[in-house]
Amino acid sequence: MEVGPRDGLQNIKQLVPQEVKTELIQSLAETGLQEIEATSTAGADEIVVFASVTKAFSRANQNCTVDEAISQARVVIKEALASGIKVRSAISCVFSDPFSGPTARKDVLEVVQQFLEMGCYEVGLGDMLGVGTPKDTQSLLEVLLQEVPAHRLAGHFHDTYGQAVANSYKSYEMGIRTFDSSVAGLGSCPCAPGARGNVVTEDLIYTFEKAGVKAGVDLEKLVDVGQWISKRLGIPYGSRAGAAIAPKRTQTQRSPPRKHSPTESSVPRSWQVVEDTREYRIPRAGTAMKITLTRPKNGNAMTSTMLTSLKKFLKNLHKDPTVYHVALESEGKYFCTGMDLSGGTNTTDMTGESNYYGQVAAFFEAIDHVPQTTIALVDGPCFGGGVGLTFACDVRIVSPKVRWTLSEVKIGVSPAVISKFIVRIWGA
C-alpha cells in the first residue's frame, strides 16, 4: 500500500496545498499502484485503526494505555463492520519502544490476535523507529506465523537505519505479501526523534522487480512522481534507486507529471468468469469484479431471480477482503429499463419473500452497503428502477448516450424505492 499521500505528508512541516495532494494521488495511480492511502474522507469504504504494542509509546502517541487504545478501537471496529466498512489495523513499536526499549514478541502476538478477533482483515506490523533488522524480522514472524496466517499480516517498516527494504524482503520470503511504502520516502515518526520515513516505494519496487516479483508498477514513471513531489515540497529526494535511475533515462527533459486524464492501466487486466447465467455475468480480475447485465432484448430489466441472486452475491462480498471494486455494466442499447414487464416476473404480489418491490429495495440496499467501491458504467438510457440502480452505486461513469427517465413521475407517482438514492445525489 502506497502511504505517501497520508502517512508521508502528515509529517511535512509546511502546508501542502490541496491541489498538490490531489495531483500526487492521481500521478501515483497512473504508475500502476493499486492501493493508495489518501487521507480521511467521507464515505470511506475502508478505515484503519491504530494502537501501540508498548505502554510508553501508547501514552506519548495516543495519550492512553494500550488497553484503552484497544478498547477505543473495538468501538470503532464494531460500528464500521456493522456499516459494511472494512477495517485494517496498524500496530507500532513491534521491535522497540523509544522510551522503554525492546518489545517482547509475545506482546506483539497478543495485540495482533486481539485486532483479528475484533474483525480486522489485516494487521500492519509497524517498526516506527526503523531499528529492526532482517534477523529481528525473522524472529518476530517465526512467533507470529505459528498462530496467525501470513495473509493476515502486513509489513510497515521505517528506514532510519537503512534496513526497511531488507526487512520487507525477509518478510516476503516468509510469506507476507502486503507492505506499506511511501513515494520518495516521505514521512517520519513525530513521537520518535530521529526516525526516518517509511520504506521508499521506488526502492521496494526495484528490489522486488530484480528478484523476479512483478509488482505491475511503472518504476520510471514512479521515479518521476517521487522527484516531482520532493521538488514541490522543497526536500531532498529520498530514493536511492530513483536517484540512480533518473540520470539513465533517455529522455533529456522531463516535466512534472501531467494533470490527470483517463488512461488505460499499464497492466492489462485478465478477466475470468466466476458466474454466468442467462440474466447476468460476473467476471473477476485481481481485486476487481464486474456485474454485467445480459438481457439486452428485454432492456436489461430486473427480474425476481436476478434481484435475489445478485443480492446474495453482494452480501457474500462482505466476507471477501480481497475484492476492492465492483463495476456494474450492461449489454445492448439500454443500461436498465427497471421493472421486468415481460410477464415472467410477478410484480403484483406484495406479500412475503416474493414481494417484488421488497426485492428491489433489498437489492439496492445491498449495493449501498457493500464495503467495496461500486461503480456504475452507464452506456445507455435508464428508466425507473434502472435510474435507482445507477445512483445506488458509489460512482457513475457515463457516456453521452445516457438518459435518465423517472417513468413513475409521468403518471404522478413518486419513485419511492429509489428516491433515497436519487435525492442524496441530485438533492431534494
Asked if residue 118 belongs to a domain, the reply is: yes
What average pLDDT does this structure show over 180-189? 84
Q: Determine the pLDDT at residue 135.
A: 97
Asked if residue 362 belongs to a domain, the reply is: yes
Taking only the tens place, the pLDDT of each residue in 84-135 is 899 999 999 999 999 999 999 999 999 999 999 999 999 999 998 999 999 9
Q: Assess whether 93 and 172 both reside in one domain.
A: yes
Using the 3D structure, point to which of 248, 280, 302 is the last residue of a domain. 248
Q: Sort 318 into a burial class: Cβ within 10 Å, 0-12 / 13-18 / 19+.
A: middle
Q: Assess whether 278 and 236 both reside in one domain.
A: no
Q: Assess whether 181 and 96 both reside in one domain.
A: yes
Domain total of the chain:
2
Whole-model pTM: value is 0.55
Asked if residue 263 belongs to a domain, the reply is: no
Written as nine digits, the cell of 178 is 502486503
Using the 3D structure, point to which of 248, 282, 302 is the last residue of a domain. 248
Which region holds residue 94: left if phi is over 0, alpha if psi is between -120 and 50, else beta?
Answer: alpha
% of the chain exceeding 70 in pLDDT: 85
Q: Determine the pLDDT at residue 427.
A: 62
Q: How confident is the model at residue 309 (pLDDT cuts 50, 70, 90)?
A: very high
Taking only the tens place, the pLDDT of each residue in 21-80 is 788 888 888 888 888 877 655 567 889 999 999 999 999 889 999 999 999 999 999 999
Q: Assess whether 411 and 316 both reside in one domain.
A: yes
What average pLDDT does this structure show over 255-260? 56
What average pLDDT does this structure show over 398-425? 76
| Separation CA 29–CA 219 (nearest Å) | 12
* CATH code for the domain in which residue 45 is found: 3.20.20.70
Asked if residue 327 belongs to a domain, the reply is: yes
Asked if residue 392 belongs to a domain, the reply is: yes
Q: Taking 60 as the threshold, does the pLDDT of residue 368 lie above it?
A: yes
Taking only the tens place, the pLDDT of each residue in 156-179 is 999 999 999 999 999 999 999 999
Q: Which domain holds residue 62?
A: 4-248
Using the 3D structure, point to which of 248, 281, 298 is the last residue of a domain. 248
Q: Name the range with the highest mean pLDDT among 271-275, 342-346, 403-407.
A: 271-275
Q: Amino acid identity of 226?
A: G
Q: Assess whether 221 and 308 both reside in one domain.
A: no
Q: Determine the pLDDT at residue 104.
A: 97
Q: Taking 50 as the threshold, does the pLDDT of residue 189 lie above it?
A: yes
Contact (CB, 8 A) for 213 and 200: no
* CATH code for the domain in which residue 416 is found: 3.90.226.10
Which of 189, 191, 382, 393 is the catalytic position?
A: 189
Q: Assess whether 215 and 286 both reside in one domain.
A: no
Q: Assess whether 132 and 183 both reside in one domain.
A: yes
Q: Where are the beta strands (DSSP E) in 260-394?
A: 272-276, 280-285, 288-293, 325-330, 373-378, 382-383
Q: Assess whether 243 and 282 both reside in one domain.
A: no
Q: Assess whether 279 and 147 both reside in one domain.
A: no
| Separation CA 312–CA 270 (nearest Å) | 25
Asked if residue 199 belongs to a domain, the reply is: yes
Q: Assess whether 225 and 326 both reside in one domain.
A: no
To the query of whether residue 189 is one of the catalytic residues in this protein, the response is: yes
| Separation CA 398–CA 389 (nearest Å) | 13
Q: Determine the pLDDT at residue 256.
A: 58
Three-state secondary structure call for residue 268: coil
End-to-end CA distance of the chain: 39
What average pLDDT does this structure show over 299-303? 92
Asked if residue 67 belongs to a domain, the reply is: yes
Q: Assess whether 332 and 415 both reside in one domain.
A: yes
Q: Assess whether 294 and 349 both reside in one domain.
A: yes
Q: How confident is the model at residue 264 (pLDDT cuts 50, 70, 90)?
A: very low
Q: Determine the pLDDT at residue 81.
A: 94
Asked if residue 260 belongs to a domain, the reply is: no
